[in-house]
Amino acid sequence: MRPRTIAEFVGQEHLIGEGGALRRQVERGYLASMVLWGPPGSGKTTLARLLSAATGAHFSTLSAVMSGVADVRRLIQEAKERSEANGPQTVLFIDEIHRFNKAQQDALLPHVEEGTVTFIGATTENPYFSVVSPLLSRSRVFRLEALTTDQVGVIVRRALEDQERGFGGRVTVADDAFAHLLEISAGDARQALNVLEAAVAMGEAEGRAEPVTLEEIEASAQQRILAYDRAGDGHYDTVSAFIKSLRGNDPDAALYWLATMVAAGEDPRFIARRMVIAASEDVGNADPRALQIAVAAANAVEYVGLPEAQYNLAQAAAYIASAPKSNRAGAAYWAAVADVQEHGSLPVPLHLRNAPVRRMRSHGIGVGYQYPHDFPGADVEQQYLPDGLAGRRYYEPTDQGMERQIGERLKRLRGERKRRRGEERSAR
């Protein structure tokens, strides 16, 4: 069911509400080329139709899944003929524009540039990755948000009541069924309407009386509709939320995003790999056990598999999220990488070089190396960094968890070295 006017459109108030960018275009009677970027069921196609109608344009539509360059050229030629006959401007709407390859998208460029058509593309994928730059530069990108539960409710009620495009008041839905329908739709109005239609058809086929029941809604939906695409933005956004929850000491949120990924069919090995990384990147030496637990969970996923491996993943996620945090080991490494990139691979000091042949020592190789275990505390001061970087500090432990103990030990060793240097100077 589609609203007839922009005034009836549900959702996306930031774009079509009073002062919204798209409303201002329509009020001026002008429509620029654009890309509508948003999740499924957020109204991209409906909004494109309404914008076209509001400006009096002819609406031509293609699906990038089913069409190719030949279809684009055909509609472009029709647009030219329409213009030559003083007909209305043509809006060329291409759904799932991210499914067009570079050559197919490039075919649009001269016609958008010349104004033969006003291009409107719809995509659920990030257009900055999936739409070619020349086409983006000729279009404005508008981000549509998932509909709220209340907004989906408005659309479903219209479908139940509308005489022309809906059920015309012939169908009612039980309160618990209605609430469940909105809850499982996850902001996707199309899915909500599809489930409703299937539930009504199921009831009619079985000769059941009204209203539509919770059982019929559940049977029609089969499972909760998850706004997650393993190859698209849903994947990257969800795993980003998962990683940031682990880093942010929120085990509850980490478990929620973990459950979301597993329910949506994410590869559990991918999830385990992300936790192995987080155990070192974000927990580090504040709790070295986090890496052991993450690696154990990764091994358990391979050994046990789903669904039982959910316990292993949950244990690791809860532990990593709850553990003290330090990124100092990783930060120290990247500081060392920066020095390698700036200075290159500097020569190894002679006393640290390997001297498997005694004659090599006549060249100074291996000469002067002091074996730490021969000294008190198994520590002796000597140069380990290359010349030019001697004295450089990369790793500075925090006071979090076990890293506090590491920091205290390093501080104690450095103090002892300083004391011995003082004693040596005094002896001289």
Q: For residue 298, what pLDDT is reported?
A: 95
Residue 110 has pLDDT above 80, yes or no: yes
pLDDT-derived band at 225, boundaries 50, 70, 90: low
| φ, ψ at 346 (rounded to 5°) | -75, 155
Residues comprising the chain, all counted = 428
State the sign of the Cα–Cα–Cα–Cα dihedral 154, 150, 43, 189: negative
pLDDT-derived band at 314, boundaries 50, 70, 90: very high
Residue 227 has pLDDT above 70, yes or no: no
Residue 10 has pLDDT above 80, yes or no: no
Residue 11 has pLDDT above 80, yes or no: no
Q: What percent of the chain has pLDDT over 70?
A: 94
The answer to whether domain 149-221 has CATH 1.10.8.60 is yes
Distance CA 112, CA 415 (A): 71
Q: Is 212 exposed, middle or buried (0-12, 13-18, 19+ CB in 10 A)?
A: buried
User: Considering the chain, what is the average pLDDT of its residues?
Assistant: 86
Q: For residue 199, what pLDDT is reported?
A: 86
- Torsional class of 276: left (φ above 0), alpha (ψ -120 to 50), beta (otherwise): alpha
Query: What kind of fold does domain 233-322 have according to CATH?
Result: Zinc Finger, Delta Prime; domain 3 (1.20.272)
How does strand 117-123 pair with strand 90-95? parallel
Rounded average pLDDT over 259-275: 90
Q: For residue 333, what pLDDT is reported?
A: 92
pLDDT digit string, tens, across residues 32-84: 899 999 888 888 998 899 889 888 889 999 888 888 888 888 999 999 998 88
Rounded average pLDDT over 213-227: 72
Q: Is 159 exposed, middle or buried (0-12, 13-18, 19+ CB in 10 A)?
A: buried
Which amino acid appears at position 72 of this protein?
V
Residue 223 has pLDDT above 60, yes or no: no
Question: Are 122 and 12 contacting, i.e. CB atoms less than 8 angstroms apart?
Answer: no
Which amino acid appears at position 31 of this protein?
L
| φ, ψ at 120 (rounded to 5°) | -125, 115
Residue 1 has pLDDT above 60, yes or no: no
Question: Are 396 and 328 contacting, i.e. CB atoms less than 8 angstroms apart?
Answer: yes
Least confident of 47-51, 202-206, 421-425: 202-206
Rounded average pLDDT over 411-422: 86
Q: Retrieve residue 122's tokens.
A: 């719809």
Rg (CA), the chain: 32
Which class is 6-143 in CATH?
Answer: alpha beta
Question: Are 141 and 127 contacting, i.e. CB atoms less than 8 angstroms apart?
Answer: yes
Which of the two residues, 357 and 339, has the higher pLDDT score?
339
Which residues face 93 on adjacent strands? Answer: 61, 120
pLDDT-derived band at 122, boundaries 50, 70, 90: very high
The answer to whether domain 345-427 has CATH 1.20.1280.50 is no
Question: Are 219 and 254 contacting, i.e. CB atoms less than 8 angstroms apart?
Answer: no
Q: Can you tell me whether residue 209 is helix, strand or coil?
A: coil
Q: Which residues, 6+ apart, have CB-to-CB distance to 344 below 8 Å? A: none
- The domain segmentation of the chain, as residue ranges, is 6-143, 149-221, 233-322, 345-427
In DSSP notation, 10-73 reads: -S-HHHHSTT-HHHHHHHTT----EEEE--TTSSHHHHHHHHHHHTT-EEEEEETTT--HHHHH
Q: Can you tell me whether residue 8 is helix, strand or coil?
A: helix
Q: Retrieve residue 426's tokens.
A: 């005094």
Distance CA 196, CA 423 (A): 86
Other residues' Cβ atoms within 10 Å of the Cβ of residue 282: 22
Rounded average pLDDT over 227-243: 74
Q: For residue 6, what pLDDT is reported?
A: 64
pLDDT digit string, tens, across residues 382-413: 888 889 888 889 999 999 999 999 989 888 88
Q: In terms of DSSP H, where are the helices of 209-264?
A: 214-221, 233-247, 251-263
Q: Retrieve residue 75's tokens.
A: 């509609």
Closest CA to 61 of 2, 6, 142: 2
Which of the two residues, 222 and 250, has the higher pLDDT score?
250
Distance CA 288, CA 279 (A): 8
Q: For residue 338, what pLDDT is reported?
A: 92
Least confident of 35-44, 210-219, 230-239, 317-326: 230-239
In DSSP notation, 295-322 reads: HHHHHHHHHH-TTTHHHHHHHHHHHHHH
pLDDT-derived band at 313, boundaries 50, 70, 90: very high
pTM of the complete model: 0.61
Closest CA to 320 of 288, 365, 368: 288
| φ, ψ at 92 (rounded to 5°) | -100, 105
